[in-house]
Amino acid sequence: MARLTIKSRAVTKPSPDFLSRDYWNGTIKMSLSKFFILCVLHDKPMHGYDVARAVERTTNGCCSPTEGTIYPVLREFEEGGYVTAEAEVVSGRERKVYTITDKGRAAFKVAVEAWMDVTSCLIASEKVACGEAGSCCP
């Protein structure tokens, strides 16, 4: 019986450019999008498009979620019970209005606490990066 040998070649993924500000901005934006979606829904119920624009306004353009990112996050929040969605017809089009739930408000509170911890570490890290004595996280 003949033996078949298959050689697999690993597909190498290009290494991210950690010196690139774009890399870090993208990483930060992805992480903050969920936080700011809960933040703007904390104010009032909104359509998905309005959520995206409110996040962009709230962050002065730092986070600008696209349809490709916002709707999967809203679906994830809805499936987890963090938001509810109610269909509404506007100009003949059905749209979902998203409303934060008590569970979503609790999650937002936990997120604020977690981000505040990280913020103090970032402030300390800036001092280290500028050559001041100390460590990144107090």
Q: Tell me, what CATH number does 102's domain have? A: 1.10.10.10
Split at pLDDT 50, 70, 90, the class of 4 is low
Q: How far apart are CA 88 and CA 102, in angstroms?
A: 22
CA angle 37, 57, 71 (to 5 degrees): 35
Instruction: Kindly report the backbone phi and psi dihedral angles of residue 135, in degrees, each rounded to the nearest multiple of 5, phi listed first.
Output: -120, 165
Q: How far apart are CA 10 and CA 25, in angstroms?
A: 29
Q: Is a pLDDT exceeding 80 seen at residue 42?
A: yes
Domain count, the chain: 1
Instruction: Give residue-wise pLDDT tens across range 65-82.
Output: 888 889 999 999 999 999
Quick one: pLDDT at residue 138? 58
Examine residue 7 and state whether it is found in any structural domain, yes or no: no
Cβ(64)–Cβ(40) below 8 Å: no
Examine residue 16 and state whether it is found in any structural domain, yes or no: no
Examine residue 4 and state whether it is found in any structural domain, yes or no: no
Range of the domain at 69: 23-129
Examine residue 15 and state whether it is found in any structural domain, yes or no: no
Written as one letter, the residue type at 26 is: G
Length of the chain: 138
**What are the b/e assignments for 5-32, b being 16+ CB within 10 Å?**
eeeeeeeeeeeeeeeeeeeeeeeebeeb
Report residue 8 CA to chain centroid gap. 36
Examine residue 57 and state whether it is found in any structural domain, yes or no: yes
Q: How far apart are CA 8 and CA 122, in angstroms?
A: 43
Split at pLDDT 50, 70, 90, the class of 134 is low
Examine residue 87 and state whether it is found in any structural domain, yes or no: yes
